[in-house]
Chains A and B, each alone.
Chain A
Amino acid sequence: MPDLLKRLVAPIVVVAIVLLAIVSMVLDRRSIVEGDRRLPWWQAAMLEATAPIERLISAPIDGIKGVYRDYVDLLAVRSENVRLARRVAEIESENMQFREALVTSGHLERVAALRDDVEIPMLPAEIVGLDVTPWFRSILLDRGAEAGIQPGNPVITYDGVVGVVTATSAHAAKTMLLLDHQSEVDALVQRSRARGIVRGAGRGALEFEFFVREADVVVGDEVVTSGLGGIYPKGLRLGRVAEIKAATGQLTQIAVVRPAVELGQLEQVFVMLRRGPTMELLYRSNAPDGDLAGPAAVSSPPPGVGAEAASALEGSDGTIVGSADDASIVEGSGVAP
């Protein structure tokens, strides 16, 4: 009998471990569906141990990359300087128009009063690791729950959306990139307001599936978040339409979108720590008879993360932006560029 037990130990251990792994997958799948991504202690411990070591190992890699990039940047700095000076002048001029419009319509004070409510605190975080397999597109950040990051927080850069935090430990956070197959963002075409879902295609591009077959979209259109879906605020830049697929055999039209953010070159990102509690109020005010619709409709929006932005208050650290059609975005203070 003891001999039989001894012989059975190995098969039992093998079956138990395989079953454990499969049950883990099922449970994890359920937690994704239910939106609960709290990490078990052993996974949190693993993240805690990994992040600082990866940061340490990344340092020399970043150093070499930084020296090379600085050299390349230096070559183009003069022409870039001239271009930026011209751009600043344009933006200052636009700014004056917006301010004038707001003062004229009497809404400046109300907008300023709302500012504190709608500012979203943003936390800068360093990327310390990337998913090494080509099947998952995720990154590891060096800040976690202790800094206020929670699963579901949007992650952005100056150029646009990066992804969403999926799990956190005390000092690290796993973030799923837009490119991941599981990533889905409710989006719209900035020009025509055609709505749809932007999905990760796993490779370097995104797929924009429109809700209607005859959506008004052309190559070069800017795609932004719609604000629906509960994760991303409205108006964050997702990318630009690079190709429109023929709709033959499909119920809906699909466009290929090139991400606004160079997701392979990321070093630092900003985590939006919450969605502003009064943001929905602002969105509602974008209706044609809304308070902010009038003044903001006077000019074209500036580029950047606030590509949707249609006005800005000069001299404020955080900025509230009114909208043209329904465009609105709130940029947080403190970490803003």
Chain B
Amino acid sequence: MKSTLAVLALGLFALVVQGALARAIAPPWCPDLAWLVVVGIGLRWPGFLSGFVISALLGFAMDSVSGSLVGQHAVLRIFSYLAAAIASRQLDLSGGIPIALLTLALSVAYGFGIVSTRAIFLGPEPLLVEVLALAVAQGFVHMVCVGPIVGLVDRIVNRFADEELSRRGSLALGYSSYPGRGRS
């Protein structure tokens, strides 16, 4: 529980920091730190369901401070989390470069996801090239920033892992609560 609260607090703090940071660094060059926390949870978080719920909560929190439709960031953050969680279990993501490349791909997909959902609910959207350019630009920024954020999530997981492992067995969907063990 402590680790869940800690990583949720990290995500919310990132959300507040990035809003202030955007005043100095204009989008798309300003990283979406709260989204990177979600990616970090997908990559490092041992419990599937708790990670899923945290991602959804961070998505709804983002929706409340962003100009998006309520639920838009939530849906896409859930998918980002799922994609990162599946990738971390199916692919060899050891080292910084594979994680950075995965982040770039997820970031571009996220951009297209935003534009697609907005097109469905709100009407015509800008040109494909324009969307791609913005998504790739922010993707590169995310590539640079993902390392430290994943590191922070990792530290939270490890900090509380031993304490929580003593009180809890395996988590929902059969994932071990101990990082790095994979399926139990």
Binds A, one of B95-103, B115-123, B149-157, B161-169: B115-123
Given contacts A21-B56, A127-B23, A181-B122, A10 and B70 within 8 Å (CB-CB)? no
Q: Which of B81-115 contact A (CB under 8 A)?
A: 111, 114-115
A134 near B22 with CB under 8 A, answer no
A134 near B27 with CB under 8 A, answer yes
- A29 proximity list for chain B (CB < 8 A): 69, 121-122
The contact of B67 among A17, A58, A128, A174, by CB within 8 Å, is A174
**Interface Cβ pair total, 8 Å cutoff:** 163
Chain B contact residues (Cβ within 8 angstroms of A): what range? 35 or more
A10 near B172 with CB under 8 A, answer yes
Q: Does A140 contact B (CB under 8 A)?
A: yes
Chain A residue at minimum C-beta to C-beta distance from B120: A25
Q: Does A158 contact B (CB under 8 A)?
A: no
- B27 proximity list for chain A (CB < 8 A): 130-134
B118 near A181 with CB under 8 A, answer yes
Q: Does A20 contact B (CB under 8 A)?
A: yes
- B64 proximity list for chain A (CB < 8 A): 39, 42-43, 46-47, 50
Given contacts A46-B65, A138-B67, A65 and B26 within 8 Å (CB-CB)? no
- B21 proximity list for chain A (CB < 8 A): 57, 61, 132
B71 near A182 with CB under 8 A, answer no
- A21 proximity list for chain B (CB < 8 A): 56, 59-60, 71-72, 74-75, 78
Q: Does B18 contact A (CB under 8 A)?
A: yes
Q: Which of A95-154 contact B (CB under 8 A)?
A: 127-138, 140
Q: Does B10 contact A (CB under 8 A)?
A: no
Q: B159 CB to closest chain A CB, in angstroms?
A: 24
Q: Compute how far the CA of A57 lies from the CA of B78 in the bound complex, rounded to whole angstroms.
A: 28
- B172 proximity list for chain A (CB < 8 A): 9-10
Q: Does B45 contact A (CB under 8 A)?
A: no
Q: Compute how far the CA of A29 lies from the CA of B121 in the bound complex, rounded to whole angstroms.
A: 7
Q: Compute how far the CA of A164 lies from the CA of B139 in the bound complex, rounded to whole angstroms.
A: 30
Chain A residue at minimum C-beta to C-beta distance from B59: A21
Q: What secondary structure prevails in chain B residues at the interface with A?
A: helix
- B134 proximity list for chain A (CB < 8 A): 134-135
Instruction: Provide the B31-44 mask, 1 if CB < 8 A to any CB of A, else 0.
Output: 11100000000000
Given contacts A28-B69, A43-B64, A10 and B23 within 8 Å (CB-CB)? no
B70 near A57 with CB under 8 A, answer no
Q: Compute how far the CA of A54 lies from the CA of B21 in the bound complex, rounded to whole angstroms.
A: 9
- A50 proximity list for chain B (CB < 8 A): 15-16, 19, 64-65
Q: Which of A14-56 contact B (CB under 8 A)?
A: 14, 17-18, 20-29, 32, 39-40, 42-43, 46-47, 50, 53-55
Q: B85 CB to closest chain A CB, in angstroms?
A: 12
Q: Does B24 contact A (CB under 8 A)?
A: yes
Not counting A21-B71, A24-B74, a sample of 10 additional A-B residue pairs whose C-beta atoms are within 8 angstroms of each other reads A9-B172, A21-B75, A50-B64, A54-B20, A61-B23, A130-B26, A131-B27, A132-B66, A134-B27, A137-B67
Residues of chain B whose beta carbon lies under 8 Å from any beta carbon of chain A? 15-24, 26-28, 30-33, 48-49, 52-53, 56, 59-61, 63-72, 74-75, 78, 111, 114-115, 117-118, 121-122, 125-126, 130, 134, 137-138, 172-173
Residues of chain A whose beta carbon lies under 8 Å from any beta carbon of chain B? 9-10, 13-14, 17-18, 20-29, 32, 39-40, 42-43, 46-47, 50, 53-55, 57-58, 61-62, 65, 127-138, 140, 166, 174, 176, 180-182, 201-203, 264
